[in-house]
Amino acid sequence: MTNAQLRIGLIGTGRIGKVHAVNIAALPETTLTWVIDPYVAGAEAIAEENGARATGDPDEAFASGELDAVVIASPTSTHADLIKKAIEAGIPVLCEKPIDLDIARVDELAPLVENSGVPFAVGFNRRFDRDFSLARERLIAGEVGDLEQLSIISRDPAPPSVENLRTTGGMFRDQTIHDFDMARYFAPDIVEVFATGSQLFDDGAKETSDFDTAMVTMRTSTGVQISITNSRHSAIGYDQRIEIFGGQGMLEVGNAGTSLVSYSNATAVKTTSPYQHFFLERYSDAYVEELREFCQLVRGEESRCSSFADGRAALILANAAQTSAAEGRVVQVDLTA
């Protein structure tokens, strides 16, 4: 494929769809040509802003001959069918996580995607965060020696709505799934999962039999220990930290603040501004880089995009955590099967 602008279709015009629309329009190598959403008015609004066409029917866009790739940012329940349609039409796909909530449906799709030769990527945007990527590079370079412990803290500023909780598969498949992918980004050979969850403050979690607070511990085949700490609320803002510990040192990635200015006086020293409030701020650059890497994948160039297998592995870990929390036991996993 040449380096001409890639014609991108966007499916889904909700919060994350709007993020992708802005990035597709802004990136020099992409142009937004189709916007697809059953809520046609939403599709038309974004299409009009970008000189694109709008439709409520993905088949119309897929058959147009005007798509070099598609970004799927629609509700999770629609992902599998849309992936199938796009792959069968020979259109490369960047799909937001998860591929599907049902591992059987994911496994049903796997041969089609993997044997098609059509480029496919899962939207695990945190892999493209500059600091997380740099920490991984320094781990690989041996700066801390062999990895011994990996700690991930991921707390959202506020719980999602009950409507959201009813459709996104619960905390482990919705929130923690990003952390499972990050764990594999640093230590891919996970074989054991133990999780606990609590309902401490969110009525929505109680109503949907979900958790608002969770901790997960995992172990790799070589004994590396991994911990994930999650909460659905955080008074200090969007709490996103990683610690990478080895025999020769430690790497840490801290939270991103809204300003670099600090203030000191007689009663406090170095008071600083709050942390960034939500993922749209914290990972705005990562979303752009993810799209750029997806373009490289579509053009047949080297790319760091997450694969279908990465998406499947994260869901297996999420399911294992759900089982572990429900049954109070360690769950063995085989991510190579």
- Tens digits of residue pLDDT in 214-223: 999 999 999 9
Domain contains 89: yes
pLDDT band, very low/low/confident/very high, at 3 (cuts 50, 70, 90): low
Q: Single out the residue in 100, 118, 136 at which a domain terminates.
A: 118
Q: Name the DSSP letter for residue 178.
A: H
Distant-in-sequence, close-in-space partners of 78: CB < 8 Å, separation ≥ 6: 11, 12, 72
Q: What percent of the chain has pLDDT over 90?
A: 90
pLDDT band, very low/low/confident/very high, at 259 (cuts 50, 70, 90): confident
Q: Quick one: 248 and 290 in the same domain?
A: yes
Q: Quick one: 168 and 270 in the same domain?
A: yes
Decide: 75 and 13 in contact? Cβ < 8 Å. Answer: no
Q: Quick one: 143 and 245 in the same domain?
A: yes
Hey, what long-range contacts does 105-111 have (CB within 8 A, 24 or more apart)?
Answer: 105/80, 106/80, 106/311, 106/312, 106/315, 107/312, 108/80, 109/80, 109/83, 109/84, 109/308, 110/308, 110/312
**pTM of the predicted structure, to 2 decimals:** 0.94
The reported pLDDT for the residue numbered 260 is 78
φ/ψ of residue 266, rounded to 5: -70, -20
Domain containing residue 289: CATH number: 3.30.360.10
Decide: 91 and 63 in contact? Cβ < 8 Å. Answer: no
Q: Quick one: 175 and 289 in the same domain?
A: yes
Q: Single out the residue in 86, 118, 150 at which a domain terminates.
A: 118
Higher-scoring residue by pLDDT: 12, 268 = 12
Q: Quick one: 20 and 157 in the same domain?
A: no
Q: Single out the residue in 57, 91, 118 at which a domain terminates.
A: 118
pLDDT band, very low/low/confident/very high, at 2 (cuts 50, 70, 90): low
Domain contains 1: no
Q: Quick one: 75 and 142 in the same domain?
A: no
| Euclidean distance between CA atoms 195 and 183, whole angstroms | 14
The reported pLDDT for the residue numbered 94 is 98
Burial of residue 267 (CB within 10 Å: 0-12, 13-18, 19+) is exposed
Q: Quick one: 306 and 250 in the same domain?
A: yes
Domain contains 26: yes
Domain contains 337: no
> Is beta strand 6-11 parallel, antiparallel or unpaired with respect to 30-36?
parallel
Domain contains 152: yes
The reported pLDDT for the residue numbered 109 is 98
| Euclidean distance between CA atoms 248 and 138, whole angstroms | 12
Number of domains in the chain: 2
pLDDT band, very low/low/confident/very high, at 329 (cuts 50, 70, 90): very high
Q: Quick one: 252 and 326 in the same domain?
A: yes
> Is pLDDT of 90 > 60?
yes
Q: Quick one: 103 and 196 in the same domain?
A: no
> Is pLDDT of 171 > 60?
yes
Domain containing residue 91: CATH number: 3.40.50.720
The reported pLDDT for the residue numbered 265 is 87
Q: What is the mean pLDDT of residues 230-237?
A: 95
Q: Quick one: 245 and 314 in the same domain?
A: yes
> Is beta strand 249-253 parallel, antiparallel or unpaired with respect to 93-96?
unpaired
The domain in which residue 43 lies consists of 6-118
Q: What is the mean pLDDT of residues 60-84?
A: 97
The reported pLDDT for the residue numbered 327 is 98
The reported pLDDT for the residue numbered 278 is 79
